[in-house]
Amino acid sequence: MGENMNERTISLIGTENIKKIEQKHILIVGIGGVGGTALEALIRSGIRNITIIDSDNFDESNINRHILATTLNLGEKKTKIAKKRMLEINPNINIQELDIFLNKENMNRLEKYDYIIDACDTITTKIELIKYALKNNLKIISCLGTGKKLDPTKLEITTLNKTYNDPLAKVMRKLLKEENITLSIPVVFSSEQPINNDHKVSSMIFVPSTAGLLLANYVIKDIIQN
C-alpha cells in the first residue's frame, strides 16, 4: 500500500508493525461467507502475500451473506473474483489462487505459510489442514459452524477443546482424539444454540462475516505481538 493508504493503520499500530505484516504469507482455505471477509480484512490491513483456495463458483445463494458476491459475477469462480477485487484494493499484493478442492491427495500442493486460516466447510479437509500445520510447525486457526446462527455477539476465539453447541466441533474433536492429535487448536466458534434442526443449512451475513473479521484480527494481532 502507499503511504496515504496506510496512514490510519500506521497511526494505530506503527510503521514497524506494518513492515512485519507485509512480510507474512497467509493461506486461506475457503473463500465463502467467512473466508471472503477474512481475505478482504487482511488485504485492507496490509497483508501483501496471500494464497487462496476454493473450487466453487458464485451462485444466487451466496448473495445474502458473501462480501464478494454480486448479481454481476454469478457463475464466476470465487478465487478469480476474489483475486480481481483484492488487486483493485491493493495492486501491489502477491496473491496466488488455487482453484481446487483441497483434500488429503493434493495437500502436497501447499507451501510453508506463516499462518493458515481454515474457512472451509469440509470436516476431512479441516482435519488434514490441522495435521499439515502441526507437522510443519505452522500457525493455524479454524472457523467452526456459522450456519443456523444469527447473533454475532456469541462468536469468540478459543480452542477446540473448549467449544460447545457446535456439532461440527464435536465431530472434529472425536476424529482428532482418535488420532491422538491435540485439541488445543485456535478456533472461532459461536456459543449460540442452533436456531433450528432442519437439514438445510441456513445463514445470514452477520455471523459468517463477523467470524471472518475475527479470523483476520487473530492473525494481525498475533503478527504484531510476536
Question: Model's pTM, two decimal places?
Answer: 0.96
**Helical ranges in the chain per DSSP H:** 3-13, 15-23, 33-44, 78-89, 123-135, 167-178, 206-225
**pLDDT value at position 6?**
81
DSSP state letters, 44-66: HTT--EEEEE---B--GGGTTT-
CATH architecture of the domain with residue range 3-225:
3-Layer(aba) Sandwich (3.40)
pLDDT in tens, the chain (226 residues): 555 668 899 999 999 999 999 999 999 999 999 999 999 999 999 999 999 999 999 999 999 999 999 999 999 999 999 999 999 999 999 999 999 999 999 999 999 999 999 999 999 999 999 999 999 999 999 999 999 999 999 999 999 999 999 999 999 999 999 999 999 999 999 999 998 767 777 999 999 999 999 999 999 999 999 9
The structural domains of the chain, with segments of one domain joined by +, span 3-225
Rounded CA gap, 214 and 197, in Å? 26
